[in-house]
Chains A and B, each alone.
Chain A
Amino acid sequence: MKTLGDVKVGESSTIVKLHGEGALRRHLMDLGLIKGTSFKVVKVAPLGDPVEINVRGYELSIRKEEAAVVEVQ
C-alpha cells in the first residue's frame, strides 16, 4: 500500500482511501483529505519530518507517521 508519506517532494497524487479510526481520521476528513482528493507534497521539514502538503488550496503540515493512514495512488 502506498501512503501519503511515500509521495516524494514535488509530486502530486490522489487519495484512494483513509484508514485508521477515531479522532485523527475524522480530523483528516474534516480537513478535506477524503477519497478522490488530489494533493501535492510541497516540502519536507529540515529534519526529514513532518511534510507539508498543498491540498484544497491551503498548506497542511502532517507527520509521516500520521500520513501513513492515508492510502494514495
Chain B
Amino acid sequence: MADSQIHVALAGNPNCGKTTLFNLITGANGYVGNWPGVTVEKKEAKLLSDKNVTITDLPGIYSLSPYSPEEQCSRDYLMSGESDVVVQVVDATNLERNLYLALQVIETGLPVVVALNMADLVEKNGDKIDTDKLSKKLGCPVMMISALKNKGIKELFEQVKKSAASKGQVPEHKFDSSIEDVLDHIENNLPASVPANKRRYYAVKLFERDADACKLINLTKEKAARVEQLVAQCEQDCDDDAGSIITGERYGVIAHIIDECLTKAPAKMSTSEKIDRVVTNRILGLPIFVVIMFCVYYIAVSTLGGTVTDFTNDQLFGTDGWYVLGQGRDAYDAAVEAAGDNADSVDPAQYGPYVPGITTVVHDALVAGGTEDGGLVDSLVCDGIVGGLGAIFGFVPQMFLLFVMLSFLEDCGYMARVAFIMDRVFRRFGLSGKSFIPMLVSSGCGVPGVMATKTIENEKDRRMTVMTTTFIPCGAKLPIIALLMGSIIGDSSTTAAWISPLFYFLGVFAVIASGLMLKKTKLFAGRPTPFVMELPAYHFPAIRSWALHVWERCWAFIKKAGTIIFASTVVVWFLSNFGSYNGSFGFLPAMDGISEEFMDYSVLAMLGNLVAWIFAPLGFSTWQATALTVSGLVAKENVVATAGSLLSVADAGETDPSLWTAFAGMFPTMGACVAFGAFNLLCAPCFAAMGTIRNQMDSGKWTAIALGYECAFAWVIGLFINQFYNLLVLGQFGFWTVVAIVLLVAMLFQIFRPMPKHAWTDEDETNTASAAVSA
C-alpha cells in the first residue's frame, strides 16, 4: 500500500444517510432506501475528488456486538486494520441512539471522524449542537454535514485526510468510577503487546465476556481467571449482568454528553408524526393502504402504463406502425373502413407523418438486401428476435411506472409503515411485514422482487419470501391471463377487468397457503423471529437515490430481457422451426411439400411429446400445451408468442379472437384450460428469476427446494382444478379424482393443523423454559 493511499470506512446506524453520502462522494450506484438495513454487504469505491482515497461502505448496524451477520462483518472489518480512518456517520436528529454505536467505534482506537449528518434538518427543527464541545467529549473531530444537500463534504474529507495520518486516539469518555476501576484492572492484565489505543477496547470486550472479539488476545489461564473474578464481583455489586452494565454505562455517558452539547428547541409535533397520525391510524391505516396500492396499480397497469405498453407492442415493435403525435390516425382509420375488404391496400403513409413498426422496417430492409421473403434469416430476425424482444420491452413502461411509485413509497418511509400495518397478517403465514415489499415488486417483475428480499435480515423469513414471492403474477404473466380469459369467455376487454384479479387472488392464495404449510415443516421449524424495527421519519427522497433505485430495478429486468430472454427466444424459434420431415432434418418451412402445420414435426413437438404425460392428469397432454409450458419456464413472455406460432395464428396477440379459438381448441375441457393457466402462473418462474433465486438463496439445495416446491404446488393446484371440474361439472370420476381428493385433504390438514410441538428445536424449548423461570 502506497503512503498516499487512504482507506476510509463508513460506519453508522441503519438509515442515518450513510449510503446517500457514499453515493454522493463516490458517484456509485449504491442503493438507498428509507428502510432500515438496506446495505447488507460492504461496498467499496474510490472517492470522486481524490482517487487515492478508497471508501468502504459498511452495513448499517446499531452496535458492534456480534449478534447479526452485519455487525460481525463490520466489526471484523474495523478490527482487521484495513482502514486507516473511520467516518462515523451520525443522524444528528437522533443523537442519543446514534452515539451509542459511535462510542463503540471510538473505543476501537482507530482514528475516527464523526460526521453529524442531516445538519439541514437539525437547523430546521431549531436545535443546536455544540460541535466543539462534542468533539472534546468524544476525543475525536466532529463535523456537521448534509449528504442530501451536499454541504460540509469537502471540509469533512480534509479532516479525514488529516486524521488518517494520526495514530488513533485513546477514548476520552469515562464510565462510572466503580466500573472504570474494574476496567483499569482488566487493562493491567492485558499482554504488553496490545497497543495503547486498543487496550480500552479489549478491556471492555473482556468485561462483556465477548469471546469472539477477544480471540486474538492470549490471556494466561491465571489472568483469565482473575478477569472473570473481577467481572463476576462487579456483576454482583451492580446486580446486573456484564452486558447490561456496559450498555447502561454507554447510554449514561451519552445522556451526559447530550445534556452539555445539545440544545433542543421546544418540542412540537413533527411533520412525520402528523403524517403518521393519519397513515397508521388504527381505523384509517388499512383503508389508506388499500387505496394507495389501488392507485399505484391503476396508474401503472391499467391506464398510463397499459397505453404505453400497447403502443410499444403493436405499433413500435409490431407491424402496425404509428403516426407522430397521432396526426393522420383518424383519416387512416376512415380510409381503412371505407376500403372494407381491401383494407390491406390502404397505404398508411398517405395520411400523415407515418412511421412503420420495427418488424416491418427490418423485414423490408432484409428483403431489399436480398434476403428471401419468409426464409430462414427473415424468420429468425423478424419472428424470433424482433418479435421476442418487442414482447419483452413492451413491459418496460409499465414496470418503470410501477417501480417509480413503489420506490417512492419505499424511499419516503411509507413502506416501513406498511410492514408495521401488515406484520400481523404476514406473521400468521410464517412471514414478516418486511415480506410485503418483495411481493409488491414481484407484481412487476420477479427478478427485482427476489432481489428485494435482501432487506429481510432473518434467514428463515428471507427464504420463505423468496420461495413464495414469484407466485404473485408478474407483468409477463398478464398476457397469459388475457389469453385464457379470451379463450374461456370470448372477450378480454370487459370481463378481464374483473376476471384477471382472480388470478391475483390465486397468487395471493398460493402465498398464504404455502406460508401456512411450510412454516409447520422441519425446514422452517422454530419460533417466529423477532420483528423489532425502527420506523424512520418521513422525508422526501433525494431525487438521485430515487432515480438510482428505479434504475436498478428496471435494469435488472432489461438485463434479463437482453440476455436470457433474447437467447431463449432464439432457442424457442429454433426448436419450433427446425425438425425432421420425411427423413431429413432442417428448416421446416423451407421443406418441400410440408403443410402449414409444419411445427408438428419440430424439435419442440418431440420434446413436448416426451414430457406430456406429466400433465395428463391436469387435462392438457397435447405436445403443444406442454411445449408452451416449457417455453414459459424459459420466459413467461414467450408463452403467448409461442402459442401464436404453434397454433399457426401468426402475429396474433393475446387480444386476438382467432388465437382464442385456436387456443381453446388445444384443451379438451374448460377445466383443463384453467388448469393450464394456473400451472403456468404458479410454477417455477422464468430462467432469469430462477437465477436470481439461486443468487439470493446462495445454496444449491435451497434453490432446488424452492423451485421443486413451486412446481409441485402448481401441479397440485392444476390437478385440483381439472379433476374437480371433471367431477363437479362433467360428473367424471376416476383414479386421479381420488388422488386429487387425497391431496386436498392432506393440504387442508397441513394448513389448519396447529403448529406442531416438535417444530420447536430443543434450544428454543430451553430458552422458553429459562425465560419462564426468570419471569
**A and B from one complex:** yes
In whole angstroms, what is the CA distance A35 to B244 when docked? 8
Q: Judge whether B280 is part of the interface by a CB distance below 8 angstroms.
A: yes
* Set of chain A residues within 8 Å of B247, measured between Cβ atoms: 29-30, 34
Residues of A within 8 A of B240 (CB): 35
The answer for the CA separation of A26 and B532 in the assembled complex, in Å, is: 12
Q: Among the interface residues A21, A23, A59, A60, which one has the most CB atoms of the partner chain B within 10 A?
A: A59
Q: Which size bracket describes the interface of B in this complex?
A: 35 or more
Whether a CB of chain B sits under 8 angstroms from the CB of A8 is no
A63 in contact with B423 given A35-B248, A45-B285, A46-B286 (CB within 8 Å): yes
Q: Are A66 and B96 in contact, with the CB atoms below 8 A?
A: no
Main secondary structure of the interface of B (DSSP, over half): helix
Closest Cβ of chain B to A14, distance in Å, is 14
Contact pattern, A 32-73, Cβ under 8 Å of B = 1, otherwise 0: 101111000001111111101000111111110110010000
B530 pairs with A24, CB closer than 8 A: yes
Contact string, B222-249, partner A, CB cutoff 8 A, digits 1/0? Answer: 0000000000000000001001100110
Q: How many angstroms between the C-alpha atoms of A68 and B643 in the bound complex?
A: 57
List of A residues within 8 angstroms of B281 by Cβ: 43, 46
One of B280, B535, B767, B774 near A60 (C-beta < 8 A): B535
Contact, CB under 8 Å: B280 / A50? no
Quick check: B248 and A49 within 8 Å, CB to CB?
no
Complex partner residue of A28 from B95, B531, B532, B771, CB under 8 angstroms: B532
Q: Contact string, B261-286, partner A, CB cutoff 8 A, digits 1/0? A: 00000000000000010001111011
B residues near A27, Cβ cutoff 8 Å: 62, 67-68, 530, 532
From A47, A58, A62, give the contact of B425 (CB < 8 A).
A47
Does B582 have its Cβ within 8 Å of any Cβ on chain A? no
Q: Contact: A45 with B280, CB < 8 Å?
A: yes
A6 to chain B, nearest CB (A): 13
Q: Is B725's beta carbon under 8 Å from chain A?
A: no
Whether A34 lies near B94 (C-beta < 8 A) is no
Chain B 526-542, CB within 8 Å of chain A: the 1/0 string?
A: 00101111110100000
B421 touches A45 (CB 8 A): yes
Query: Which B residues lie within 8 Å of A47 (CB)?
Result: 286, 421, 424-425
B424 touching A45 by the CB < 8 A rule? Answer: yes
Residue pair A19, B421 in contact (C-beta under 8 Å) = no
Complex Cα distance, B283 from A39, in Å, reads: 24
A63 to B62, CA, bound (A): 19
Q: Whole-angstrom distance from the CB of B18 to the nearest CB of chain A?
A: 16
B251 within 8 A of A: yes
Does the CB pair B775–A19 fall under 8 Å?
A: yes
Known: A27-B62, A49-B423. A66 touches B282 (CB 8 A): no
CB distance from B507 to the nearest CB of A (A): 22
CA distance A21 to B772 in the complex (A): 12
A26 touches B97 (CB 8 A): no
Minimum CB–CB distance from A49 to chain B (whole Å) comes to: 5
Per-residue CB proximity of B102-129 to A under 8 Å, as 1/0? 0000000000000000000000000000
Mind listing 6 A-B residue pairs with CB under 8 Å? Answer: A26-B63, A44-B282, A45-B280, A56-B96, A57-B94, A61-B531
Q: Can you add 5 more A-B contacts, CB < 8 Å, to A50-B531, A61-B423?
A: A23-B530, A24-B532, A34-B244, A45-B423, A61-B419
